[in-house]
Chains A and B, each alone.
Chain A
Amino acid sequence: MDAYHDPGLGHLGDPTRRRIFELLARQPSTVGDLARQLPVSRPAVSQHLRVLREAGLVSTRAEGTRMVYQVNPDGVAAMRAYLDLVWQDALNAFHKAADAANLDKENQ
């Protein structure tokens, strides 16, 4: 997919960073929220977030005393990266489901 030549998107090549982006795509979260769902330390999560933020894929907003991270709603690169994830996942799911349907047919 040509998407990986685009600015910002190369940053999603790292599996942990991609996972963080996916989690934020579903729900804005704090560093602590993210660290609880990942097998990495809080400082490591913060480091990944810094890279994603500098790439324009993620933005922050203050919620009281908490800093909440979210997929950057104004970022073209962020939107495109998100849609790229959606299609990759959707087509992988379609592939698996079609293979399963094919096996059902052969077993009949």
Chain B
Amino acid sequence: MSTPRTIPPLTATLTINLPLEQTFRFFTESFNAWWPNQYHIGQSDIAEAVLEGRVGGRWYERGVDGSECDWGEVRVWEPPHRLVVTWQINGYWQYDPDPAHASEVEVRFTAGGPDQTVVDVVHGHLDRLVAGQELRDGITGGGGWISLLEQFATAAVGATQA
């Protein structure tokens, strides 16, 4: 491998007007109720999005035709404070089963008041998804990925310094 490259994580924060425990429960148990159903990778329309509440649990979609498509698995399950799931959907919008290529989504829940909860989302280890992509490109003879990544890393550093 050449010098390691790091893609900055995606971050988001929002405040929810529900108590901590309830926010965590709503996020996880009612996952299907709020996940925007246009985001799915299966060929058929999504019937249900499922998040299994335990370490090693799957999160996946079930299509209207009954087919299931994995998105990743639950790595950390610490109700009501923290949840980490892998995101194994690559740049071709396909599930990559190799755990070494899994990016991670960490969701933290912090009480912001008696009836308020701050939710922080960090989608990191994007470089692992990219590593899988490079491997694939190596196999299929593609090539644009590495130079794009270097371009991206340079520009991202420039943006940070600006």
Q: Do A and B bind each other?
A: yes
Q: Pick the contact of B148 from A6, A75, A83 — CB < 8 Å?
A: A75
Instruction: Assess the A76–B148 pair: CB atoms within 8 A.
Output: yes
Instruction: Assess the B152–A77 pair: CB atoms within 8 A.
Output: yes
Interface status of A98 (Cβ within 8 A of chain B)? yes
Instruction: Assess the B18–A90 pair: CB atoms within 8 A.
Output: no
Interface status of A88 (Cβ within 8 A of chain B)? yes
Q: How far is the CA of A86 from the CA of B37 in the complex (A)?
A: 11
Instruction: Assess the B35–A7 pair: CB atoms within 8 A.
Output: no
Q: How far is the CA of A93 from the CA of B37 in the complex (A)?
A: 10
Interface bin, chain B: 35 or more
Q: Shortest beta-carbon distance, B16 to chain A, in Å?
A: 5
Interface window among B59-67, B73-81, B129-137: B129-137
Q: Pick the contact of B33 from A89, A97, A102 — CB < 8 Å?
A: A97
Q: Shortest beta-carbon distance, A94 to chain B, in Å?
A: 5
Instruction: Assess the B142–A1 pair: CB atoms within 8 A.
Output: no
Instruction: Assess the B145–A76 pair: CB atoms within 8 A.
Output: yes
Instruction: Assess the B10–A94 pair: CB atoms within 8 A.
Output: no
Interface status of B1 (Cβ within 8 A of chain A)? no
Q: Pick the contact of A98 from B11, B23, B160, B162 — CB < 8 Å?
A: B23
Instruction: Assess the B142–A89 pair: CB atoms within 8 A.
Output: no
Chain B residues, CB < 8 A from A94: 14, 16, 26-27, 34, 119
Q: How far is the CA of A96 from the CA of B36 in the complex (A)?
A: 11
Instruction: Assess the B91–A78 pair: CB atoms within 8 A.
Output: yes
Q: Pick the contact of B36 from A1, A5, A80, A90 — CB < 8 Å?
A: A90
Q: Pick the contact of B35 from A1, A5, A93 — CB < 8 Å?
A: A93
Interface residues of B in 20-71 (CB under 8 A from A): 22-23, 26-27, 30, 33-36, 38-39
Instruction: Assess the B17–A74 pair: CB atoms within 8 A.
Output: no
Q: Shortest beta-carbon distance, B137 to chain A, in Å?
A: 7
Interface residues of A in 1-36 (CB under 8 A from B): 1-3, 5-7, 26
Instruction: Assess the B137–A91 pair: CB atoms within 8 A.
Output: no
Instruction: Assess the A98–B17 pair: CB atoms within 8 A.
Output: yes
Interface residues of B in 125-156 (CB under 8 A from A): 126, 129-130, 133, 137, 142, 144-145, 148-149, 151-152, 155-156
